[in-house]
Every structure is written in structure tokens, then in C-alpha cells.
Amino acid sequence: MSLRNVGEIHYHPLVGRRVVVAKASQEIRSLPWMDERVLEETMGDVKDCLGYVEQNLQTLEDHVLEDLEWLKKAVLGQDELHTRFMELFANLQEQLDMVKVGVEETRQETAMCKRAITGGALVTHSPRVDAPKPKEFGGKRDAKELDNFIWHMERYFEGASITDEKAKVRTATLYLTDTATLWWRRKHNDIKKGLCTIDTWDVFKKEIKRQFYPENVTNEARKKLRELKHKNVASSYLDKAGRKMKKWADKRRRPKEYNLGDMVMLKLLPQQFKSFRKVHKGLIRKYEGPFPIVAKVGKVSYRLELPPKLKIHPVFHEQTNLTLFGVSSFSTD
């Protein structure tokens, strides 16, 4: 609390009593109403207040010192932690450098081993592609099927980056079945006995072609060509005979001729007959009539006089729809 107005009486929060604000002790003594007892009480309250403030200051100082000590220890701990972290980082960096050196040495040793295996040739690695697996070969004596098998195997070698000759032979034998497997088993036994050697892809192709390539491929092709020619000749002869028979039949065929006023039977479809007369489907007749011919349309068509109930077109072809009344439809002219 600030003591701004001298001579006023205020309530002090620390002392709990009324305090008279005075600029100096002489002015306090000069007040006519101030007696010695009030002055003593006031001085006692001031002393108590000062003691309380000093006690609080001491407590605050102790707390500040404790906090400073803790902060100092924390800073020292951070320094130790940073130093330890830097040491660990240096150790890790050293170990990483050692690993890099080891990896580089291993890579060099691997390259040397590969060069030694391949006879000093430089090995280059192409990106690996998932090539489709070739179709198996069962040993059929067919030149086309065997050529397709060899071609697909070579494409598979390219896609799978198989360059070693022995690896090509081993991979190709995995796709042999049935008769081809039996042939390879015999060849494998001969290889173990030292009777033959199949260690390259070219030798393998030569051996498998010798075994399964048909000996008379040229003769078979010529035979198929001759058969094809014979088939074409036979087909042409049949067409020629058919045309001759049709020409001979057309000479005897004559269109039916009707006169105006002739009564003819009309061939109707089942649905057309139902529209004309409602009967059971089992009683539907094939022909209906007779109906008179009222006009000739063209050379082979005629117009009939139909009842109004039969709602169809009145012009009909003579060979498909009409037959003379009283003459069987199966008779021939």
C-alpha cells in the first residue's frame, strides 16, 4: 500500500490495524490529538510489518537460491548429456565408415570371383523382367511344335537374363514331359557315363532335333500339298457336276399355268388360318379354299378373290402357295 496522503488513517493489510501516515516523527508529535500510547502502538505495528517483510524476503531468497542451484545442476546435466551424445555419434560414424569399407571390399571380391568364373569376361547385369514361362514339350514328332518350343525357350532366357550355357540346358530340361522326359533321362545317364556331352544350348538343340525332328519333313510337306491339290480338284469337279445337273433339271421344269376363273387351293400358315377360322391347333388344315383366280400378275403370280375375313395379301406365287382344286399337291407335270 502506498502512503500518499499524510495525516490520514488507513487500514494496513499486514498489520491488521489502523495506521496514521506521517511524513516525519516531529509532525506526528506536533499533532494535538496524538498521544504517546497511539504512537507506541503504531511503531509496534510498523516493526511487526518490517519483521514480516524481512522474513518473507529471507524465504524468497532461499527459494531463489534453491532454484538457481537446480538450474545449475540441470545445465551441467545437459552439458554432460550433449558430450555423451557427441561421443556416441562419433562412435557410430566410425562404425559406419568401417561397414562401408567392408561392403566395398566384399563387392570387389565378388566382382573378382565372377570374372574368375566367367574366364575374365566382364559381367553386366540387365534389369530382370518377369518373362512368361514357355509351354512344355512332350516329345511329339512335329517340326512346328519343336521349333516353337526352342523359340519360346530362347525368349525366356532373354527375359530371365540367363546367359550361362549350362544353366540354359538345365532350365530347358525342366519343361520336357512324357516322351521328351524319357529321352532326356537316357541322355543324362549317357552324360554320367561319359558317352556324350551336352553342356551348351547349341548342342542341346542339335540333339533334341535329331531325336524328335521328323526325318521326312520335306516329304510330309509335299504330301500335304498334293492332298490339298486333290481336294481342290475334287471340289471343282463336284461344282461342275452340280451345275450340269441343275441345267438338265431346268430344261424339264416348267412353271404352272392357270387360267382366269380356275379354282385353286391356297396354302396358309397356321397363324393365317386361325385368323380366318378358329379351330383347335390339331385340326388346322394345310390348304384352304377353293378360291377363284381373278387376275394374273407377272409370269408366275396370280391374284385370288379372298373372303373379307382372310386378311392377307391376295397375290401368290404359283409354286409355293397355289395348287389346282381337285389335283394332288404332290403331282408333277
- Whether the pLDDT of residue 280 is over 80: the answer is no
Last residue within a domain, chosen from 76, 104, 119: 76
SS3 15: coil
Residue type, 7: G
Q: Could you tell me the three cell numbers for 35?
A: 498521544
Amino acid 147: pLDDT: 87
Does residue 87 sit within a domain?
no
- Whether the pLDDT of residue 124 is over 60: the answer is no
- Locus of grid cell 512335329: 142
Does residue 58 sit within a domain?
yes
Residue 112 CB coordination number (10 Å): 10
Does residue 217 sit within a domain?
no
Does residue 180 sit within a domain?
yes
Amino acid 119: pLDDT: 57
Amino acid 321: pLDDT: 62
Last residue within a domain, chosen from 41, 58, 76: 76
Mean pLDDT within 125-138: 71
Does residue 90 sit within a domain?
no
Looking at the fold, whether 177 and 230 belong to one and the same domain comes out as no
Mean pLDDT within 195-208: 88
Domain range for 241: 222-253
C-beta separation of 236 from 271 below 8 A: no
Does residue 130 sit within a domain?
no
Kindly indicate the confidence band of residue 126, based on its pLDDT and cuts at 50, 70 and 90. Answer: low
Does residue 71 sit within a domain?
yes
- Locus of grid cell 377353293: 290
Between 181 and 256, the more confident residue is 181
From CA 322, how far away is CA 303, in angstroms rounded?
11
Amino acid 122: pLDDT: 47
Which of 52, 35, 42, 40 shows the shortest CA–CA distance to 20? Answer: 42
Indicate yes or no: pTM above 0.75. no
From CA 96, how far away is CA 92, in angstroms rounded?
6
Kindly indicate the confidence band of residue 254, based on its pLDDT and cuts at 50, 70 and 90. Answer: low
C-beta separation of 115 from 122 below 8 A: yes
Looking at the fold, whether 72 and 24 belong to one and the same domain comes out as yes
Amino acid 194: pLDDT: 85
Looking at the fold, whether 67 and 32 belong to one and the same domain comes out as yes
Does residue 174 sit within a domain?
yes
Looking at the fold, whether 319 and 272 belong to one and the same domain comes out as yes
182 CB-side CA count, 13 A: 7
From CA 315, how far away is CA 303, in angstroms rounded?
4
Kindly indicate the confidence band of residue 289, based on its pLDDT and cuts at 50, 70 and 90. Answer: confident
What is the tens place of the pLDDT at every residue in 89-98? 888 888 888 8
Q: How far is CA 313 from the centre of its chain?
A: 61
Amino acid 91: pLDDT: 82
Looking at the fold, whether 151 and 207 belong to one and the same domain comes out as yes
Kindly indicate the confidence band of residue 15, based on its pLDDT and cuts at 50, 70 and 90. Answer: very low
In the chain, how many domains are there?
4
Amino acid 316: pLDDT: 78
The region that residue 119 occupies, defined by phi over 0 for left and psi between -120 and 50 for alpha, beta otherwise, is left
